[in-house]
Structure 1
Amino acid sequence: MGKGAARFGGKSGFLPKPREIFKQPYKHVVYQKEPDTGYADGILHPRGTTRELIRPPVVTPEERLLRTARPPKKVPGESELQKMAAEQRANIKQAELRRKYLAESYKTEVSRLERLEAQERRRAEEQAKVEQAAREYKASHAEVYTMPTVESYLDGPFIRPRTEEEKEELRLKREANRRARELEQKQAQAVKLLELYNAAANFAVTDEKLKEMVDSAFSDRKLQAVKDMLSVDLSGLGSQPSPGEFDKTVADVILGTVNKGPSLDAVEDTLSGFNELILETAQTKMEEKKMELKLKAEEKQRQLQQLQEEILREREQKTEESEQKNE
């Protein structure tokens, strides 16, 4: 951004204002002269002017289309198009597309302007109704001659009651918040269930497994680790995780697992068939690659065979030529 951008409020520039498609009126409108405007009766107006307001001429979209994109006087037939050059046929087709798109743009602009006019009429009608209600409103004697009292405040509601639209909007917001909380709770429960399922591989469900876990828990290496842990000063540790927990967390984050088992995303991909689709795609690509390599090998073998045949023919030809010279 250059130094001159400060003149534009810190912006590098502004986009140009869009041009109006219909600079002149596109339909006939009955105009009504506003009261108390123009020249009064008996007052001469300047020479070269008129007492009546001159409205711009009306140009309909059809007339504008004829002016800007007039259709050709003669439309070539199919046989004539076939005889023309490719460039000339392309130009004719491009001109037809331009006329078609221009007509569609005019139609779209007319519908947009009609919607704006309808909105303006509705807005004017509503404003007229509000002004009429304000003119017809008559304040009561209590509102004119008295001040509000505590009793008047206590008689009416302290807050404005919600409209039906506000009630519906509030209901939808509460419903969305409730569904979002339920989704978060279900996701947390699914992760915990998956952690429990993955950790079940280390549970002692048989006597052999229990004996193995007891032997490993009371081995010399475990006892030494327990002694080292008891000899550590716990005052300086704070709430830092142990090295084992930290390593396990880092491994889960890198590998995308939970307790060395599949994560929730992996389970969802398997249940939805995404992993199977990836496997099928990989197998298809592998088969295509094998087929391509096989075709290349066959092509190379064919070229090699053809080269050997050419070499043999050249040798035979040279041998025949040498024999003919000797004779």
Structure 2
Amino acid sequence: MGKGILKYGGKSGILPKTKQIFHRPIRPMNEVELQKEKNKESGYAEGVPTPIINGKPLPRKQPPRKYITVEDRIKHIKYPPMSLKEMNDLPEEERDAYKRAYYRAEFLKEAYLEEEKRLAKIDQLKTKIHEKELENQRKFEEQRKIESIISSLPTMQKLLKEGLIKKRTPDENKLLKEQRKLNRHSKELAEKEEKASKILELYHSSSKFITNEEQLEEAIYRAFEINVSKFENNQTSIDNKLFSNSSSFIVGEINEMKIKDAILGEINGKPGLEQVKDTLSGNRERLRREAQLNMRGEV
């Protein structure tokens, strides 16, 4: 065994490195490759002047890669200008030269097609690997979310130490106290206004109350001796309105009175609580004077 064989590990020699058949891509970039190319940092940084070579500025970003399809490559293969049958009629040396050129072109075409199939399988394998990576990333994100949720759950030691309910901070307790105080005052104010409105309604109705014997005797005298016919006529008209088809007229009048009281803030046509408050505070008189001044200015 000579020194030359020992140099290659006891083998008679090594095979040469395989050369690439296609030095340029045979297809455009797919979505995955475009995304990787987009995320790749390339070009010149901001503030760096653009280099100029032979009077032409270099592009700041890498231009899109050029590709040549297998069909275009096959179209550019040079075949002999005659068929195999025509080659057989030529002299031996010329015939062999043409046949070598023909089979060389056929082998190149076959190599192109086989290389295209091999690259297609590699692309499919890369696509499967990318999809698997995306699936693993999705599972990892889901697992991380579950772990974060589990880690955020209170443990028995934490419950025993801090309690089941989270305690409020001093600022939160102060804010809650002020909010409760505001709600209580608002409720008390609403109750007082409702009570004052009822008292005012009672005050307006008190003018018809009978408070002594003289008023009672006078009311009986008027009802049974002076206003008997009027009382009977009123009773008849009320019965007719209640038991006739015109009962909707009474309902309309009542609703109209309620709407009027709600708009004007009155009680049965008499001043309501808001009007009394405006009168006591002076707002009513101020508004009246402003209205008079505006009217004089327009005149």
Same fold per TM (> 0.5)? no
TM-score category (smaller protein): 0.3 to 0.5
Scaled by the length of structure 1, the TM-score of the pair is 0.35
